[in-house]
Amino acid sequence: MNKLDAVTKFFETDKIYLDERKKLSEKYGKREMWEVIDPWPLYCGIANLAIKLSVADLLRSTLDVPGHVAEFGSRRGDNLLFMAKILRIYDPYGSKVTHCFDSFEGLTEFSKQDSVSLTDAKDLYKASYEELLDFISLYKMSNEIVIHKGLIEKTLPKLLEENKALSFSFVYCDTDLYSSTKIILESLHDRLSKGGLFVLDEWNHEHFHGEGVAVTEFLKEYGHKYKMHHVRNTRRPNLVLEKIDF
């Protein structure tokens, strides 16, 4: 178990589950990838299933809100493709597309607010851009997913400058770090439609404090325009900011 990913409240039960799971994979050996993926509810752990169900519920709650969907921090792209597939199922004739923002370099932009440093998190969440493109291509989703590759601190301001009318209904923040979260919230506040959601994956996190600090600073200025919601039944995402006033 990655020490930085572990949550103290669940540590013991997670450890038992992961040890037992390892024994099962040793017992039954390697299988062809799709043989495991197609019957996925058999193999998927409850905590991971809970994350996906929560994301589906939240995203579906914004389908009538105008604007696009965005994910900041997509890594391998599982949440990204999950959201794009939800749109394909529930909004097949609508204009919403899913924007992905990632450098694919992992965590690199640390600030003093982050409480973890590059040394603790070296290469954490590095991912393959090419592999993501292959899966987008497998599902013929290149018109439904737009990738902005590079540091969010650069790609987001540029995109907003070049597209003055671009707006969003659902923004998933999962970079774990202060500087990107601060830029996302502050620069998308004006572009999030009324009824739209900022969803935070690591707010109040035991190890990564930066996302929470960025949210606190944002709410000091804009808190009167948002309603905070706790997300039950999952460890993450763990905060939703619903825009209630434009």
Name the site residues for ligand SAM (rule: CB under 6 A): 73-76, 78-79, 102-107, 109, 125, 127, 151-153, 174-177, 180
Burial category of 99 from C-beta neighbours within 10 Å (exposed 0-12, middle 13-18, buried 19 and up): buried
Alpha carbon of residue 33 to chain centroid: 24
Q: In this complex, which beta carbon is closest to ligand SAM, that of residue 202 or of residue 242?
A: 202
CB of 157 to ligand SAM, least distance (A): 12
Q: Which is nearer to ligand SAM, 152 or 241 (CB)?
A: 152
Q: Rounded to the nearest whole angstrom, what is the least distance from the CB of residue 124 to ligand SAM in the complex?
A: 8
- Which is nearer to ligand SAM, 4 or 97 (by Cβ)? 4
Pairing of β 226-229 and β 145-149: unpaired
Indicate the residue among 80 and 241 with the shorter CB distance to ligand SAM. 80
Whether omega before 237 lies within 30 degrees of 0, making that bond cis, reads yes
Minimum CB separation of residue 183 from ligand SAM in Å reads: 8
- Sequence letter at residue 230: H
Q: Output 123 or 221, the one with its CB closest to ligand SAM.
A: 123
CB of 244 to ligand SAM, least distance (A): 26
The C-alpha atoms of residue 1 and residue 101 are separated, in whole angstroms, by 27
Provide CB contacts within 8 A for 26, sequence distance 6+: none
Grouping H, G, I as helix, E, B as strand and the rest as coil, residue 203 is coil
Whichever of 111 and 225 has its CB closer to ligand SAM, that residue is 111
Core vs surface per residue 61-85: b (16+ CB within 10 A) or e: ebeebebbbbbbbbbebebbbbbbe
* CA atoms of 152 and 179, how far apart (whole Å): 9
| Residue given tokens 């609508």 in the structure block | 94
Smallest separation, CB 12 to ligand SAM (Å): 24
| CB of residue 88 to ligand SAM, shortest distance in Å | 18
Rank residues 23 and 122 by Cβ distance to ligand SAM and give the closer one. 122
The backbone torsions φ and ψ at residue 109, rounded to the nearest 5 degrees and listed phi first, read -100, 80
Q: In angstroms, what is the minimal distance from the CB of 23 to ligand SAM?
A: 26
Evaluate whether 236 touches 202 at the Cβ level (below 8 Å).
yes
